[in-house]
């Protein structure tokens, strides 16, 4: 069975992890802006960026660091799905469900948009750590 798994290098795992964080972050920010009314208060967008920056610095930077270390410790030829732990994949499912509940809630569109922008910006900002490690690892492996 293991011969059918999509094995990947550490370099590939780092790239995929960084790419996923960035793309999901961009998606959430776009979605947040689209949810906010056009005539809405721009302070909600700015507030989302400020909250997202704080979430990135105090929460997601640590998560990114642990994810990087787990990828480095796992070695080459591990399943590409192993880019994240089972726990993290479970958290992704919970967050998707939370998004459905958030959009179905009675919160204002500005507030929902703020939350989406904050989470999206936090993911994008913290993805920088994974991108940097990918660049460094790729350059080190090439020499």
Percent of the residues in the chain that have a pLDDT greater than 70, as a whole number:
96
- Confidence check: pLDDT of 1 > 60: no
- Confidence check: pLDDT of 26 > 70: yes
pTM of the full predicted structure?
A: 0.89
Lowest mean pLDDT among 73-87, 91-105, 125-139: 73-87
Q: What is the DSSP string of 105-120?
A: SSS-HHHHHHHHHHHH
Query: Cα–Cα distance between 93 and 89 in angstroms, integer?
Result: 7
Query: Cα–Cα distance between 143 and 126 in angstroms, integer?
Result: 27
User: Predicted confidence band at 64 (pLDDT cuts at 50, 70, 90)?
Assistant: very high
| pLDDT tens digits along 31-53 | 999 999 888 788 999 999 999 99
pLDDT at position 30: 96
User: Predicted confidence band at 79 (pLDDT cuts at 50, 70, 90)?
Assistant: confident
């Amino acid at each position: 069975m293991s011969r059918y798994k999509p094995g990947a290098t550490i370099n590939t795992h780092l790239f995929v992890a960084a790419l996923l964080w960035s793309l999901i972050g961009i998606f959430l920010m776009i979605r947040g802006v689209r949810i906010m009314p056009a005539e809405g208060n721009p302070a909600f967008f700015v507030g989302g960026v400020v909250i997202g920056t704080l979430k990135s610095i105090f929460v997601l930077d640590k998560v990114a660091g642990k994810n990087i270390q787990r990828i480095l410790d796992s070695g080459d030829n591990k399943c590409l799905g192993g880019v994240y732990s089972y726990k993290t994949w479970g958290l992704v499912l919970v967050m998707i469900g939370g998004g459905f509940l958030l959009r179905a809630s009675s919160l204002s569109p500005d507030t929902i948009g703020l939350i989406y922008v904050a989470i999206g910006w936090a993911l994008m900002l913290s993805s920088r750590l994974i991108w940097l490690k990918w660049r460094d690892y790729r350059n080190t492996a090439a020499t």
